[in-house]
Amino acid sequence: MRRILLHPVLSLLLGFVCVFYAATPTAQTASPLLNARYPDLVNYFNAFEMIQAAIFEEVVLTSQSAEAAIGKQLLLESLQEFARAKTSHYHSSSNHLAMLGPYRVFESRATPGLIAMIRQQHDTSQANLALANIAVLPSEVVAVLNRGRDFISGLTEIYLNDDILDKHLAVDELLADYLSNDAHSVAALPKSSDLLSKHAYAYAFRVGFPQLSGLTWASQWLQLASLEIMLMASSDRALDVGIATATDIYVEKIARLHNSFMSLPGDIPSMPVIAPNVYSFHPGAAYVIDNLSMLKVVIGDILTHPGVTDHEAELKQMLARFTDKNQYLEDEIDYLTFVLRGGIFNQGGPAFGGMTESERNRSRDSLENPHISRFPMSP
Amino acid sequence: MNKQKLKKILLTNLIAGLSGIAWIPTQAALERIGDFALLDDQGEFHQLSRYQHRKAMAIMSYVQDCESMDEMLQDFKALREQFADQNIAFLLLDPMGLSRAELAGLNTGFPVLQDEGQLIAEKLQLDQAGAVRLLNPARLSLYYRGSSKDVQLPATLSSLLTQTITDTVSGSAPASTHNACTIPFPAKQRHTASPPDYARDVAPVIIENCLECHREGGAGPFALDKYVSLLGWSAMIKEVLLNKRMPPAQVDPHLQQSGNARYLPVAQLQTLVHWIDAGAPRGAVAEDPLEQQASDNLQDDLQRKDTWLLGDPDFIVDVPANRIPASGILDYLYVDIDLPFTEDKWVRAVQYKAGAPAVLHHLMTFVTAPGEDFWGDERTGAQVSRRFLESYAPGRTRATEYPPGTAILIPRGHKLSMQFHYVSNGQEMFDQTQLALYFAEPGDSATTGHKLQERLTQAVSAQFTIPANDPDFQVVAEQVFTEDVVITGVRARMNYRGKKMKFSVEQADGSLRDFFSIPAYNYGWQPHYILDEPLVLAAGRRVQISGAFDNSVSNPANPDPDKVVYSGVESEQEMFTGYLSYHRLMD
C-alpha cells in the first residue's frame, strides 16, 4: 500500500482528488421544492453566490492594483474616523453608504457586469463552486459559507413542504445536523456585535466598496424576505404573490437610474428586522443566518483593508471566532437592540410590500449624498 | 501564487487532461483591462462594457502593410465561422490611423475599430499585427492573449464557452515572436522617455475642457480644480476618457461638427493618459496653474453674476423657483411661462442665467401655442413643427445670437414651455433661472438686406414596440421638406434605452448621405447640436433619421431589460424623435 501511494502518478491524482474535494461544498445544494415552484428565485439565489464570489475577487484585484494607491489612502483616512466612534456604525440610524466609494472607478466599472451576472442563468453546480473558484478564500472559509448556504436551502425546503406538519421540529433537526460539523458551522447564538464593528479592519468593505456592499445586501434581503414570506403566507396564492412582489422589489433595488443605484440597502439585512416571524419561530436558525451575514461582511473587511498582510491567517482567525460556540457571544436583548436600532428602511424594508421612505426622522435623504464624495483628498 | 490558486490550476489541468485536451493553458490571475470604447469604420460605437449580452469580445490587430495580414485575416475569419452563433463579437482594430475611406476599401468583412491614438492597442498590448485578445465584457478583463496563428486559440475559445476558463490565459505562441510586423507606438515612446509635464501639457487641457463643470459650484459631481484633485481622480479620468463617457455629448467626428459637441483631440488624449500612466507627476512647478485658473474663474463668475453679456435685455423671463431636494434622482420638470406680449416678437438672441448652476443639468425651451404644453402634438404626431428657442447646458455663461437674418418668432399670445433636468448634490437648493430675450424688428434686417427668416423646428418621430432584452432594436423616421430649407441644427431625443441616432439626407441620385451622428446616445446629455456648416436641402428631398434602442442588460441606463417597451413620451416609455432646426432658404 505504501509503495502504491508513493507512486508519483497516483500521488498526483490523489492530490487532485483532494483538491477537488476541498473545492466542493460539503453537500450538493438540493432545493427540489424551491426549484419546482420558483425557478427564478433559485436563479437569483445562485446568482447571489456568483456575485458574492465575484465581489470578493474584485476587492482583491482592486487592492492589488498599483493604480488604486490613492483609493487606499482615502479609505484609510475614512477608517481612522470610524475607529474613533464609540458605537457601531452598523445598524445605526445614520447612513454612511455614500455610493461613490474611495476606489471610484475600480468599483463603478465592476457594477454593470455584476448586475448582468444577476440577470443571467446560473445552475446550482456553478453556484456551488463559485466561492472556491475565485481562489481568494481559504478552503475552511469556503466550506463554512457553503454549509451555511445549504442550511438556508434546507430551511426553505422545510417551509415549502406541506407534508412537514411539525416545522419547528424539522428546523430543530436541520439545525442539529448543521451544527454537527463543529468546524464548518457558525454559532446558533447571537454573536457579539464587536465581531462586526470592533475588529482591526472593521468597516473596510462597507466604506471601501459601498456599491458592492449594497449589492450583496440587496441579494441578502431577497433571501431573508423569501423565508419570511414562505413561513407566513396564508395560502398558495398568497405565497406566489408574496414571492413575486419580493422579487419585483429586489429587481428595483438593483436597478440603476441615470447610472446610479437608487434603492440598495445601506445596512446589513438582519432576521429580526426583515424576517421577524422567522426569527420568532426559531431564533437559533435565525442566528445562524445573521452570523453568516456578519461573517461575509468581516471577510470583505479583511480582503479590503490595505493593512492586512496575511489574508489567510486573518480569515482563519476570524472564522474561528464565528465558529466558536462558546465565546464572542452576547445576550439576545443586546443583539436585538443592535440590529433594530437603525430601523427597517436601511436594511431594505419589510419582506411584505417593501418600503419607499425611512421610518426614522433622520432619513437617508438628509444624510446621504450620492453625488459628492465623502472622501475628499487632503491637500 | 497562493495555495488556492495552485489548487485551481491543478484542478483545471486535471479536467483538461481527463477531457482529452492535450494543451494545458497557462493560468494567471484574472487580468483587469478596464472599459474602453472606439468607433468603427462605419461610425458605429463599440464599448466593452456594452457587450454584456455577449459571452466574449475577440479583437485582432489589423496592420494593412503587414505581408502576412491577409493570411491572418483568413485565420480570424475561420475562427469566426467556427464559433458562429456562439454569441461572440469578432472585431478588428486598426492602430495605424487609417482613414474611413482607406478602411472602407479594405473589405475585411469585420467592423474595424479606429484606434487613432493607439491608446486601446496600448491597453491591450496589441504590439504586432494579428495579435488576438479575447475579452470578458462582464468583468472587463482579459481571457486570452495570443495571436491568430496560435493553433490552440480555438481550444481556448471552446474552454471559455464552457466556462472552464475564467482567468487570463496566454497563448502557446508568444505574441512577440509570431511575425515581424511590429506596431510602432511613437507617442507612447515619446511620453515614456519624457512624460507630459503637468503645468505645461496637462493643466491647460483640463482648464480648457473640464474645469467649466468640474469646479466649486459647478455641475460636475466633483471638482478638478487643483493638482491634488486631479491626482485623486486620475484612474477615473483615464477610464472615462478611454470609454468616451467624457467629455460628454460626443458625436462622430468624421461627419459634421458642432460647437455643442465636445471632444479631446487625439494628441491631448494621449497626453492625459500617458501622464496618468506615468503616475501623474506634479513636476517642480511652484504655482499650480489649475488652481490659479479655478480661482480666477470664481472671481469672473462673481463679476458676471449681475451682468448680461449682450447688454440690457429687451425682456427678462423670470422662471418661478424650483426646489431641488438634497438627494435622489429627479425626473424632468415641465414649466409653462405666460408672456405679456401684445404683438408678435422676433427673438434674435437669448441668454440663460442659471439660478443654481450646481444642480441645473440641462434646460430646453420651446415657444408654444396657448393650448399646448412642452410636448404639444408630439405625443401623437410623427411630424411636428414647433419653435425651439434654445437649450442650456452646464458651463460658463454664454449668450446665443442666431445667424444674421434669422430669428425665432413668438406669436402674440404664445408662451414658453420649459423642460428642466436637475441633479441633486447633497444640499436642498432652489433654482430661479432667468432667460434674457433680445428682439429684432421683422422688417429691419440691416445685416443682410433680406426679410428676416423664421427659425423653425421639425420633430420627426416613429411609433414602435421594443422587445425585451433586444440590444439593437432599429428604428427609422423620415421627413420631406416641401420647400428649400437650411438645416441649422439637430437633436436626438430618446429615453433610457436610446442607443444611437444618425441624420442623413437624400442625394440627387436618391442615395443617402450621413451628415450627423450621435453614435453613443446618453439620456443625460441631449444638446441641440448647432451644425458648424448649415445644410442646404432642396424641396422634396428626404431627411432620414435612423437609430436604435438597447433594451438589453448591456445598457447601463436600462431600468429593466425584461420589459417590453412601447413608444410614448413618458419616461417608462420610449421615444424616437429627431429635431431639425431650420429656416427657409433665403433668396
Neighbours of B3 (CB within 10 A): 13
What is the structure's pLDDT at B396?
A: 59
Q: What are the tens digits of pLDDT across the range A72-102?
A: 988 998 888 777 766 666 665 444 444 678 8
The pLDDT of residue A118 is above 80: yes
| DSSP letter for each residue of A262-296 | SS--SS---HHHH-HHHHHH-HHHHHHHHHHHHHH
What is the structure's pLDDT at B384?
A: 84
**Among residues A214, A197, A211, A213, which one has the least CA distance to residue A82?**
A197
HSE-CB for B239 with a 13 A CA cutoff:
21
CA separation for the pair B461, B480 (Å, rounded): 13
Angle between helix A236-254 and helix A210-232 axes, rounded to 10 deg:
170
**Among residues B78, B80, B108, which one has the least CA distance to residue B93?**
B108
With cut-offs at 50, 70 and 90, classify the pLDDT of residue A12. very low
Instruction: Kindly tell me the burial class for residue B373, based on how many C-beta atoms sit within 10 Å of its own C-beta (0-12, 13-18, 19 or more).
Output: middle
A112, A126, A251 member nearest B49 (Cβ): A112
Q: Is B234 on the interface with A (CB under 8 A)?
A: yes
- Window B:436-475, CB contacts with A under 8 Å: none
- Which residue bears the cell 453614435? B519
DSSP B28: -
What is the structure's pLDDT at B14?
A: 41
B235, B425, B561 member nearest A106 (Cβ): B235
Angle ∠(B532,B538,B544) on CA atoms, nearest 5:
70
Min mean pLDDT across B173-177, B178-182, B500-504 is at B173-177
Instruction: Kindly tell me the burial class for residue A198, based on how many C-beta atoms sit within 10 Å of its own C-beta (0-12, 13-18, 19 or more).
Output: exposed
Neighbours of B305 (CB within 10 A): 9
Q: Is B28 on the interface with A (CB under 8 A)?
A: no
Looking at chain B, which residue has its C-alpha nearest residue A258? B557
Q: What are the tens digits of pLDDT across the range B237-252?
A: 999 999 999 999 899 9
The pLDDT of residue A141 is above 50: yes
What is the structure's pLDDT at B526?
A: 84
- Window B:538-557, CB contacts with A under 8 Å: 553-554, 556-557
CB proximity list for B339: less than 8 A, separation 6 or greater: B317, B410, B414, B415, B416
Q: What are the tens digits of pLDDT across the range B481-521?
A: 999 999 999 999 999 899 999 999 999 899 999 999 999 99
Instruction: Kindly tell me the burial class for residue A330, based on how many C-beta atoms sit within 10 Å of its own C-beta (0-12, 13-18, 19 or more).
Output: middle
Share of chain B above pLDDT 90, in %: 62
Chain B contact probe: residue of A10, A76, A104 with most B CBs at under 10 A: A104
The pLDDT of A141-167, averaged and rounded, is: 96
**Among residues B205, B207, B215, which one has the least CA distance to residue B272?**
B205
> Do B8 and A68 count as a contact with CB atoms less than 8 A apart?
no
Q: Is B15 on the interface with A (CB under 8 A)?
A: no
Min mean pLDDT across A375-379, B177-181, B242-246, B351-355 is at A375-379
Looking at chain B, which residue has its C-alpha nearest residue A114? B138
> Do A106 and B232 count as a contact with CB atoms less than 8 A apart?
no
Contact B280, B203 (CB under 8 A): no
The pLDDT of residue A30 is above 80: no
What is the structure's pLDDT at B381?
A: 81
CA separation for the pair A142, A184 (Å, rounded): 9
A74, A136, A259 member nearest B556 (Cβ): A259
The pLDDT of residue B90 is above 90: yes
Q: Which residue has better confidence, B94 or B445?
A: B94
Q: Which residues of B270-279 are buried (b: 16+ CB within 10 A; e: fewer)?
A: bbbbbbbbee
- In B70-216, the DSSP E strands lie at 88-94, 112-114, 131-136, 141-147, 169-170
Contact B217, B305 (CB under 8 A): no
Cell of A165: 406538519
Q: How high is the mean pLDDT of chain B?
A: 87
Beta partners for B334? B419
> Do B4 and A74 count as a contact with CB atoms less than 8 A apart?
no
> Do A109 and B560 count as a contact with CB atoms less than 8 A apart?
no
- In B150-208, the DSSP E strands lie at 169-170
What is the structure's pLDDT at B179?
A: 63
Q: What are the tens digits of pLDDT across the range B38-62?
A: 999 999 999 999 999 999 999 999 9
CA separation for the pair B221, B586 (Å, rounded): 45
The pLDDT of residue B409 is above 90: yes
**Among residues A168, A187, A197, A206, which one has the least CA distance to residue A55?**
A206
- State the nearest Cα–Cα gap between B330 and chain A, in angstroms: 10
CA separation for the pair A214, B25 (Å, rounded): 36
Relative to beta strand B577-584, strand B37-39 is unpaired
Q: How high is the mean pLDDT of chain A?
A: 84
Neighbours of B482 (CB within 10 A): 7
The pLDDT of residue B578 is above 60: yes
Q: Which residues of A touch B49 (CB under 8 A)?
A: 109, 112-113
- State the nearest Cα–Cα gap between A9 and chain B, in angstroms: 12
State phi, psi for B297 to the nearest 5 degrees: -60, -40
Looking at chain A, which residue has its C-alpha nearest residue B53? A116
Contact A29, A128 (CB under 8 A): yes
Q: Which residues of A touch B214 (CB under 8 A)?
A: none
> Do A61 and B32 count as a contact with CB atoms less than 8 A apart?
yes
- Window B:313-372, CB contacts with A under 8 Å: 325-329
Q: Which residues of B touch A19 (CB under 8 A)?
A: 7, 10-11
Instruction: Kindly tell me the burial class for residue A176, based on how many C-beta atoms sit within 10 Å of its own C-beta (0-12, 13-18, 19 or more).
Output: exposed
Contact B581, B455 (CB under 8 A): yes
What is the structure's pLDDT at A11?
A: 40
CB pairs under 8 A between A and B: 134
Three-state SS annotation for B237-292? HHHHHHCCCCCCCCCCCCCCCECCCCCCCHHHHHHHHHHHHCCCCCCCCCCCHHHH
Looking at chain B, which residue has its C-alpha nearest residue A104? B236
H-type helices in A32-95, by residue range?
32-37, 39-64, 69-83
Instruction: Kindly tell me the burial class for residue B229, based on how many C-beta atoms sit within 10 Å of its own C-beta (0-12, 13-18, 19 or more).
Output: buried
Q: What are the tens digits of pLDDT across the range B308-338?
A: 989 999 999 999 999 988 766 677 899 999 9
The pLDDT of residue A208 is above 50: yes
With cut-offs at 50, 70 and 90, classify the pLDDT of residue B260. confident
With cut-offs at 50, 70 and 90, classify the pLDDT of residue B17. very low
Q: At B487, which amino acid appears?
A: I
3-class state of residue B378 by DSSP = helix
For chain A, count helices (H), then strands (E): 20, 2
CA separation for the pair A155, A161 (Å, rounded): 10
> Do A61 and B29 count as a contact with CB atoms less than 8 A apart?
yes
CA separation for the pair A152, A166 (Å, rounded): 18
How are the residues of chain B apportioned to helix, strand and coil, as percentages rounded to the nearest 5? Answer: 20, 30, 45
With cut-offs at 50, 70 and 90, classify the pLDDT of residue A14. very low
What's the whole-model pTM score?
0.84
> Do A113 and B49 count as a contact with CB atoms less than 8 A apart?
yes
A23, A257, A312 member nearest B329 (Cβ): A257
> Do A23 and B29 count as a contact with CB atoms less than 8 A apart?
no
CA separation for the pair A337, A348 (Å, rounded): 18
> Do A365 and B553 count as a contact with CB atoms less than 8 A apart?
no
HSE-CB for B257 with a 13 A CA cutoff:
6
Instruction: Kindly tell me the burial class for residue B5, based on how many C-beta atoms sit within 10 Å of its own C-beta (0-12, 13-18, 19 or more).
Output: middle
Contact A313, A213 (CB under 8 A): no
B10, B236, B326 member nearest A366 (Cβ): B326
What is the structure's pLDDT at B481?
A: 92
Share of chain A above pLDDT 70, in %: 80
What is the structure's pLDDT at B416?
A: 96
**Among residues A213, A197, A325, A194, which one has the least CA distance to residue A267?**
A213
Of chain B, the end-to-end C-alpha distance in Å amounts to: 77
**Among residues A319, A273, A351, A9, which one has the least CA distance to residue A148?**
A319
Q: Which residues of B touch A74 (CB under 8 A)?
A: 232
Q: H or E element: which one contains A4?
A: helix A2-6
Q: What are the tens digits of pLDDT across the range B100-153?
A: 999 989 999 999 999 999 999 999 999 999 999 999 999 999 999 999 989 889
B10, B231, B424 member nearest A371 (Cβ): B424
**Among residues A111, A129, A106, A107, which one has the least CA distance to residue A50?**
A129
Q: Is B1 on the interface with A (CB under 8 A)?
A: no
The pLDDT of residue A359 is above 70: no
Q: Is B10 on the interface with A (CB under 8 A)?
A: yes
- Window B:157-196, CB contacts with A under 8 Å: 163, 166
Q: Which residue has better confidence, B21 or B85?
A: B85
For chain B, count helices (H), then strands (E): 11, 31
Looking at chain A, which residue has its C-alpha nearest residue B5? A135
- Window B:77-136, CB contacts with A under 8 Å: none
Establish whether the linkage from the previous residue to B247 is cis, with ω within 30° of 0: yes
State phi, psi for B332 to the nearest 5 degrees: -60, 150
Q: Which residues of A touch B138 (CB under 8 A)?
A: 113, 116-117
CA separation for the pair B334, B331 (Å, rounded): 10
B231, B426, B524 member nearest A70 (Cβ): B231
